[in-house]
Amino acid sequence: MSGFVDESGLHVKGGDGGAGAVSFRREAHVAKGGPDGGDGGDGGDVWLVADRNVASLLGFRDHPHRRAPDGTHGSSKRAHGRSGADLVVAVPEGTVVRDRQGSVLADLVGQGERWLAAAGGRGGRGNASFRSQRRRAPSFAEQGEVGEERWLRMELKLLADVALVGLPNAGKSTLISVISAARPKIAAYPFTTLEPNLGVVRRGDVELVVADIPGLIEGASEGRGLGHRFLRHVERARALVVLVDLASVDGVAPGRQEEILLAELGRYRPDLLARPRLVVGSKADVADPEARAAWSGPRLSAVTGEGVAEVVGRMAEMVASVRAAEPEPEAFVVHRPVAEGFRVERSDDGFVVVGRQAERAVAVSDLTNRDALAYVHGRLRRLGVDRALARAGAREGDTVRVGAMTFEYEE
């Protein structure tokens, strides 16, 4: 899993709604037929869906834009436009989606969980929809609504069963390379691993996902070394295997290594210490006699294979008992709906009315058309925009902007 990417930006854009049509029936024996302009089609939505076949956010790094198709315009004879198809964007399980300010919008934990990232715009109504007793021949139609658009930040926390934690050079990558098919870089110096490696370990018919995390150092919880970036990957692991180096070149005693590692984990998130864990001495084949004497816990050598099967067995047991105690995965999706309605804000030269409903009310095909203007004013009044402006202190003659329209306030 080299080139593992665990963060990426994503720009999503829902399709625009098609415009409604202005059209009148034409019949041989009728001078002017009724309005028959059809509605525009809705724009497609952009959905993010957790998919376990996607392993990283790599695909988004060079291509961060995802756009759903637009709806087509309405036409005469009440023909409605076609809606744009929804766009489904597959993301890895465990993807957390935030807005640019960092607030969590969605947490796509398990297979199939979906979240609406950008709603398509609704299609505009054709003039046939505006017919009323008073307005028999409406000569305007609604424009399509523009699809939602925004930048998101995605973050992937590895969904590992077991995280291998240790000081740099303790032998974590070597261990994962002998128990799984992962082939990470291994070298006789610290900080060899710069990004987490995932490996699948099979024991009987149980599968465990093991994560080899870059080495932790004292102060990691405050951001030293590769710090927080990697402690994050430990967060969701069901169990921890703490590797202490029995042949440490710096001569740090195994017990002291354990202390340092547990202190950093606990400082980062106290509940990490409540996870099932196994502390194992590594490099048993070359352990220095003092360390060997000082360490009474389980030990292994990834080189000779001594103790490895036992440790894998213990990992499997820990994971199995955690899994058994877990409730059925619950769809946990945070979803903040877009606020309907509107609000009034002050601008440099007067007032602005912001909000979907109000903006939609002025989105008609032709604002120079008296008929359309009368409709727009009536609609804004019914929404309560006039009252809200009065409350906000608007005076006769003030400039008010709503979407693309600007008008003078009249009391």
SS3 content of the chain, % helix, strand, coil (to 5): 25, 25, 50
- Scanning 39-47, 77-85, 186-194, 364-372 for contacts with Mg ion by CB under 5 A, the matching segment is 186-194
> Binding of Mg ion at residue 282 (CB under 5 A)?
no
Q: Are 295 and 289 in contact (CB under 8 A)?
A: no
List the structure tokens of 275: 């996870």
Is the CB of 127 or the CB of 193 nearer to Mg ion? 193
CB of 300 to Mg ion, least distance (A): 16
A 10 A CB-CB count for 42 gives 27
What type of residue is 310? Answer: E
Chain position carrying tokens 């899994």:
323
Is the CB of 91 or the CB of 170 nearer to ligand GTP? 170
Question: Which residues of this chain interact with ligand GTP, rule CB under 6 A?
Answer: 166, 168-174, 186-188, 190-193, 214-215, 282-283, 285-286, 301-303
Is the CB of 143 or the CB of 197 nearer to ligand GTP? 197
CB of 186 to ligand GTP, least distance (A): 4
CB of 64 to ligand GTP, least distance (A): 30
Is the CB of 174 or the CB of 365 nearer to Mg ion? 174
CB of 95 to Mg ion, least distance (A): 25
- Scanning 39-47, 192-200, 202-210, 265-273 for contacts with Mg ion by CB under 5 A, the matching segment is 192-200
Is the CB of 192 or the CB of 357 nearer to Mg ion? 192
> Binding of Mg ion at residue 8 (CB under 5 A)?
no
Handedness of CA 360, 362, 366, 370 (dihedral sign): positive
CB of 112 to ligand GTP, least distance (A): 34
Is the CB of 188 or the CB of 324 nearer to ligand GTP? 188
Chain position carrying tokens 């665990």:
6
Cα separation, 178 vs 195, in Å, equals: 18
Cα separation, 24 vs 34, in Å, equals: 5
- Scanning 21-29, 58-66, 166-174, 373-381 for contacts with Mg ion by CB under 5 A, the matching segment is 166-174
Which residue is closest to Mg ion by CB?
Answer: 193
Which residue is closest to ligand GTP by CB?
Answer: 215
Is the CB of 126 or the CB of 168 nearer to ligand GTP? 168
Near Mg ion by CB under 5 A: residue from 76, 192, 369, 406: 192
**Which entry of ligand GTP, Mg ion, none binds 282, CB below 5 to 8 A by partner kind?**
ligand GTP
**Nearest Cα to 360, choosing from 405, 394, 398, 390?**
405
Is the CB of 180 or the CB of 193 nearer to Mg ion? 193
> Binding of Mg ion at residue 193 (CB under 5 A)?
yes
- 76 to each of 41, 129, 169, how far by Cα in Å? 14, 12, 73
CB of 356 to ligand GTP, least distance (A): 51
**Which entry of Mg ion, ligand GTP, none binds 174, CB below 5 to 8 A by partner kind?**
ligand GTP
Looking at the DSSP assignment, which residues form a beta bridge with residue 11? Answer: 65, 151
> Binding of Mg ion at residue 180 (CB under 5 A)?
no
341 phi and psi angles, rounded to 5 deg:
75, -155
**Nearest Cα to 316, choosing from 205, 242, 196?**
205
**Which entry of ligand GTP, Mg ion, none binds 66, CB below 5 to 8 A by partner kind?**
none
CB of 2 to ligand GTP, least distance (A): 13
Cα separation, 125 vs 37, in Å, equals: 8
Near Mg ion by CB under 5 A: residue from 129, 143, 173, 177: 173
Provide CB contacts within 8 A for 375, sequence distance 6+: 130, 135, 138, 140, 364
Is the CB of 152 or the CB of 179 nearer to ligand GTP? 179
Bridge-based pairing state of the strands 95-98 and 104-108: antiparallel
Is the CB of 180 or the CB of 193 nearer to ligand GTP? 193
The helix (run of H) or strand (run of E) holding residue 377 is: helix 370-383
**Residue positions counted in the chain:** 411
Cα separation, 97 vs 94, in Å, equals: 10
Cα separation, 291 vs 286, in Å, equals: 10
**Nearest Cα to 91, choosing from 114, 67, 122, 118?**
114
Cα separation, 118 vs 13, in Å, equals: 6
CB of 256 to ligand GTP, least distance (A): 17
CB of 250 to Mg ion, least distance (A): 16
Handedness of CA 398, 401, 402, 404 (dihedral sign): positive
CB of 306 to ligand GTP, least distance (A): 8
- For Mg ion, the binding residues (CB under 5 A) are 173, 192-193
